[in-house]
Amino acid sequence: MRPLTDDETRTMFEKLSKYIGENIKLLVDRPDGTYCFRLHNDRVYYISERILKLATNISRDKLVSVGTCFGKFTKTLKFRLHITALDFLAPYAKFKVWVKPGQEQSFLYGNHVLKSGLGRITENTNQYQGVVVYSMSDVPLGFGVAAKSTQECRRVDPMSIVVFHQADIGEFIRSEDTLT
Amino acid sequence: MGRKLDPTTYVKRGPGRKSRKQKGAETELTKFITEGDSDRFTDENSEWLKPAKRKREADHIDDDDDDDSDSQWEQEEDEEGEGQKKKGKRQLIENDDDDDDDDDDLVDDYGASEDSGEGEKEGESDEEVRQKKLQEVMDQETDDDDEEEEEEEDKDGEKSGDEDMDEEDTVQVNIDEMDTFKLPKAEDIAKEGVMLVDLQTIHQRIKDNVDVLSHFSTKREGGKDRAEYLSLLKKDLSTYYSYNNFLIDKLLEIFPVSELIDFLEANEIQRPVTIRTNTLKTRRRDLAQALINRGVNLDPLGKWSKVGLVIFDSSVPIGATPEYLAGHYMLQGASSFLPVMALSPQEGETILDMSSAPGGKATYIAQLMRNTGVVVANDASADRLKSVVGNIHRLGVTNSVVCNYDGRQFPKVMGGFDRVLLDAPCSGTGVISKDPAVKTSKDESDIQRSAHLQKELILAAIDSVNAESPSGGYLVYCTCSIMVEENEWVVDYALKKRNVKLVPTGLDFGKEGFTRFKERRFHPSLKLSRRFYPHSHNMDGFFVAKLKKFSNTVPTTTVDNGIVTTILVEETEPSGDVKVQSDSFDEEKPFKAGSKNKSKKQKPDGKPVVSQATANGKSAKSIAKKTQKNENPTVPKKAKMDNETEKVDKEINKSNIVKTDKETSKEGSRFQKKGDKQRKSHIQSKKRIGKNKFNKLKKLLKNEFGNEHL
C-alpha cells in the first residue's frame, strides 16, 4: 500500500471532479479525522488515518481491501471509478438525474437511461457531464455521463439515450468478483 | 366389472377405484350366492377350480393354502404357496382394514384385490408381493408373524407398538431376542424395493418406539431391555430421515429421545428468511415500509432484536430489490445476530472478526460501531473474501480492513484488539436444514478435525485480545454446530490453557451450555454459554460463548508452578478462606475496569509467572481460594525484596491481594475494586496474622539493626 503519486492523484481528481466538482477537499478534510487515498494492487482506497496505521501491519499479499475502494487504475493508467464510491459521490454530486420507477430496473441491469425514463434532471447540465443517478425516492442508483444537455433533453424523442450508464448498484450482484 | 347392481348400498372406500367397483359388484353377488357354495363353485369346472380361501389373520398360519394348488388363479397360488405367511398377508390385512372381511371369502382376488386396489398400486403391490416372497424365502415364519403384528399395530394405532408386537412374538414364538434382531434384516431387504408404504410404517414405529422409551417402566415389554428398543429406533431414524449412523448416535447422546424427533423434523424444513436492517443507511421502520410497498410480507424478528425482520413471503426476490442493492439491509440468519449482540462492540474500538466470510457479522459489528473504530475482517479463503468486500461496500462500511490470513497466524500479524469474534468453521450440524449433505457426510474424523482446528483458532483469538483494553478484553466464540466436541469442549480447553473466564453472553434466551457430557466434566461456568436449536428457537442450531481475558500473560507450564505454590499456600490458608467469602460479596459492587490495569502495573515482574501460572493451573477448578493463598505468601516476600516501608508494603499487599482476587475470581466480577478496597481492610486484619509475623520480623530486624547502629 503506497500513497498516490502526483500523476495518479491528478488523474483521479480530474475524474472525481467531473462528478463532484470542487468538493473533493471535503472528502479529504472531514470533521471526524483526516482521510487519505492509498494505492494497493492498482486500486485506490479511501481510508482514515487511523485505519491506515493498522493496515500497515498486514502484509501486502494478504491485504484484500481497506476502507472504501474508489476505483482502479487501468493498465494504461486511466482511472475508472467504481460503484463502491457512490456513497461518497452522492452527497456532493453537483448534477443529478432522477429516474422514473419503471426504468429503475432497467438501469440497474446496466442499460442506459432513455428519455422515457427520465424523471428530473438538474438544470444547466452540460453534455458529457458526469451525473449521479437517483431513483425518485432519492436513493442513489449509480452514476453516468449525460448524453445530452438539459436543453436538448427537453426536445429529444423518448427513445433516445439521455444518460450513458457507467456504474450502478446492480453491479454488486452482477459483478461481485470484480470488486476485489 | 360392472356398475353396482344396487346403487343404494354404499361400499366402504378402499384403495383403488376399480377394485372398489369390483368389490361393489361382488358384494352384490354375495347376496345371491348361498353360504354353502363357498367352498366350491357350481359350474362344471368345480373339480379343478377352487375358490380362493379367505386369508384371515387367524387362519394364515394354518391356512397353508395348499388346497389351492390347482387353482386357476395362479397369482394367488404362487403367492399362497410361497408366501404362506407373508405374501399377500399384508394386502389381505389391509383389505381387512377395508372391512371387506366378509367379502374376502367369496371374492375372487384376480390377484388384484391383494394389491389392495388396481391402478397405481397394482404395480407396487406386485413388487411388494415379490418382496414378500423373497422375505419368506429368507426368513422364518416368526418374522412374518412379527410383521403382521406390526401391521396390526399400525392398524390399531393405539397400542404401544413395540411392546405389543413383542408380546405377540413371545406368545407365538418363544424366541424374543431373535425376533427383534431379525426384524432389521427383513426390513432392510423390504425397504430396498419398497419405499412409500414402509416409510410410513417406519414413521409409525418410530413414534411408537419413542412412546415406549418415554414411559419405559410402564410400557416396556418384559424381557426386552432399553438397548434393543434404542437400536431399532436408531435404525429407523437413519432410514427415515436419511442420516448416517454416526450422526444419529451423536444426536441421541445430546438430546432426549422425544426432543430428538423434534430436532430431526425441524431439520427437514427451512428456517424462515430473515434480514437485518442496515442502520447506517436506514431505519427498520422505513425499510419495512419500503419493502411492504414492493409486496413483501414481513414482521419484526422478535423483541430481542431491533434490527431484524422476518420475511414470510415476497413477490419480488428479496436478494435483488433496489433497497438491497442500495445496502439498506442484509440477508442474514437470525442465529447470526446473536454472537454480535453478545460481543456488543462499542464505538471507537478495534475489533477482529477472524472468520468473517460472507461478511454478515463483520458488517453488523461495523454498524453497531457507527463506522467508528476499526473492524478487521479476516478469512482464510480468498474466494469467499470477495463476498465480504462486496457486502462491506454495499452496506457502506468505511472502517474496515479485509485480509486473508489463516486465523491461527493472527497474533503474529497484529494483536491488541479490544474484542474478537470467532465464528469457527465447524461441522455444520446445526444448519442441516440449509445443507442436507451434512446428514450423511460427517463422521468421527470430521468432528475431530474441526475440533482441533477450533482449539487452535480459539487460542490464537485469545492471544489477539488485549486484556488491558479499557473497554473490552472480550472474545466471543460461536459455531453453527450442536456437537459438544466443537462447543463446550473447545471453550473448556481454552479456559485451561489461557487466562480467560466465561462471562454471561447477555442473551437471555437459549439453552444453557452443558457442564458435563458423557464422561467429560467441564468447568461449571460453561453454563453461561448458550445453545440454540432449530426446533425450540426456530433458528439455526448455534452455540455462543463469551469469554473475558483477564491477563495478557500466557501461562507456560501450569503443573510445576502449581506444585510450588501449593507448598507456599499452607501458612496462609485461613486468610485464603476468608478471602473467598469476601469475593462473593465484592462481586456485587461496581468495579472500574481500569483497576486491573493498575494492579498489574503495580505488580513487580518477578512474580507474575508464578501467580499467573497458579491462576491458570487452577482455572479449571475453583481458583479463587488457591490463588489467593498463593498470593499471600508472595506479597510479603515482595515487600521484603523491594525494601519498601511498612506502610507501602501494606498498601502493596492490599493492592496485590485485590489484584489477584480480580484476576482469579471467575464469575464476571469486574466490579470488585471498590468493594475489595473497602472490605479488604477488615479481612486483611485477619490475614495479618500471617503478614504481621513478617512485619514483626521486619521490625525486629530493624530494631536490631538500629541497636547495632546505636
Does residue A34 have a pLDDT over 70? yes
Half-sphere exposure of B591 (CA within 13 A, CB side): 27
Round to whole Å and give the CA distance between B287 and A154.
34
For chain B, say whether A125 makes contact (Cβ under 8 Å): no
Instruction: Say if CB B674 and CB B590 are below 8 A apart.
Output: yes
Instruction: Say if CB B443 and CB B246 are below 8 A apart.
Output: yes
Whether A65 sits inside 8 A of B413 (CB atoms) is no
CA distance B500 to chain A (A): 25
Does residue B326 have a pLDDT over 50? yes
More confidently predicted of A143 and B600: A143
* Predicted pLDDT at B227: 86
Place of cell 432389521: B184
Whether A65 sits inside 8 A of B387 (CB atoms) is no
**Burial of residue B391, with CB atoms counted within 10 A of its CB: 0-12 exposed, 13-18 middle, 19 or more buried:** buried
Instruction: Say if CB B668 and CB B548 are below 8 A apart.
Output: yes
Whether A55 sits inside 8 A of B320 (CB atoms) is no
Suggest the residue from B367, B402, B405, B414 to mutate for an interface test with chain A (most A CBs closer than 10 A). B402
- Say how many CB pairs under 8 Å bridge A and B: 96
CA distance A39 to chain B (A): 14
* Predicted pLDDT at B29: 66
**CA B619 to each of CA B317, B359, B512, B527: distance values in angstroms, whole numbers, following the listed order:** 51, 34, 20, 16
In this complex, which of A55, A57, A172 lies closest to B394 when CB atoms are compared? A172
Does residue B339 have a pLDDT over 80? yes
| ipTM, interface predicted TM-score of the complex | 0.94
* Predicted pLDDT at B131: 52
Instruction: Say if CB B338 and CB B544 are below 8 A apart.
Output: yes
Q: Are strands A43-48 and A33-40 parallel, antiparallel or unpaired?
A: antiparallel
Please name which of B391, B301, B352 lies closest in space to residue B469, comparing C-alpha atoms: B352
* Predicted pLDDT at A179: 76
Q: Which residues of A touch B406 (CB under 8 A)?
A: none
For chain A, say whether B273 makes contact (Cβ under 8 Å): no
For chain B, say whether A179 makes contact (Cβ under 8 Å): yes
Does residue B303 have a pLDDT over 70? yes
Residue B480 catalytic? yes
In this complex, which of B320, B386, B396 lies closest to A87 when CB atoms are compared? B396
Grid coordinates standing for B560? 510445576
Q: Is A48 helix (H, G, I), strand (E, B) or coil?
A: strand
Give B589's DSSP letter: S
Q: Which residues between 380 and 399 in chain B have a beta carbon less than 8 angstroms from any beta carbon of chain A?
A: 382, 385-390, 392-394, 396, 398-399
For chain A, say whether B320 makes contact (Cβ under 8 Å): yes
For chain B, say whether A159 makes contact (Cβ under 8 Å): no
Longest Cα pair distance anywhere in chain B, in angstroms?
148
Does residue B622 have a pLDDT over 60? no
Whether A64 sits inside 8 A of B402 (CB atoms) is yes
Q: Is A127 helix (H, G, I), strand (E, B) or coil?
A: coil
Whether A51 sits inside 8 A of B401 (CB atoms) is yes
Q: At what angle do helices B623-642 and B559-569 cross, to 10 degrees?
A: 80
Q: Which residue type sits at A49?
A: E
Which residue of A lies nearest to B352 if distances are taken between CA atoms? Answer: A54
How many C-beta neighbours within 10 Å does residue B670 have? 18
B649 labelled binding-site residue: no
Q: Which residue type sits at B560?
A: D
For chain A, say whether B414 makes contact (Cβ under 8 Å): yes
Grid coordinates standing for B122? 397394482
Highest-confidence segment of B13-17, B316-320, B683-687: B316-320
In this complex, which of A54, A172, A176 lies closest to B374 when CB atoms are compared? A54
Whether residue B15 has a cis bond before it, omega within 30° of 0 = no
Q: Which residues of A touch B403 (CB under 8 A)?
A: 58, 62-64
Please name which of B61, B58, B59, B37 lies closest in space to residue B49, comparing C-alpha atoms: B37
pLDDT (mean) for B420-431:
91
Residues 6+ apart with CB under 8 A from A121: A95, A96, A97, A98, A131, A146, A150, A153, A162
In this complex, which of B388, B392, B404 lies closest to A62 when CB atoms are compared? B404
* Predicted pLDDT at B141: 43
For A2-13, write each residue's pLDDT tens digit: 888 999 999 998
Instruction: Say if CB B373 and CB B399 are below 8 A apart.
Output: yes
Q: Which residue type sits at A24?
A: I
Q: Which residues of B touch A58 (CB under 8 A)?
A: 401, 403, 405, 413-414
Highest-confidence segment of A142-146, B118-122, B133-137, B598-602: A142-146
Q: Say which range, A17-26, B133-142, B465-474, B507-516, has the weakest mean pLDDT.
A: B133-142
Whether B405 sits inside 8 A of A170 (CB atoms) is no
Please name which of B375, B668, B368 lies closest in space to residue B546, comparing C-alpha atoms: B668
pLDDT (mean) for B280-302:
92
Instruction: Say if CB A73 and CB A79 are below 8 A apart.
Output: yes
Instruction: Say if CB B397 and CB B370 are below 8 A apart.
Output: no
pTM over 0.95: no
Name residue A37's beta-bridge partners: A46
pLDDT (mean) for B137-166:
43
Q: Which residues of A touch B390 (CB under 8 A)?
A: 172, 176, 179-180
B618-B619-B621 Cα angle (round to 5): 70
For B360-375, write each residue's pLDDT tens digit: 999 999 999 999 999 9
* Predicted pLDDT at B414: 87
* Predicted pLDDT at B299: 92
Give B473's DSSP letter: -
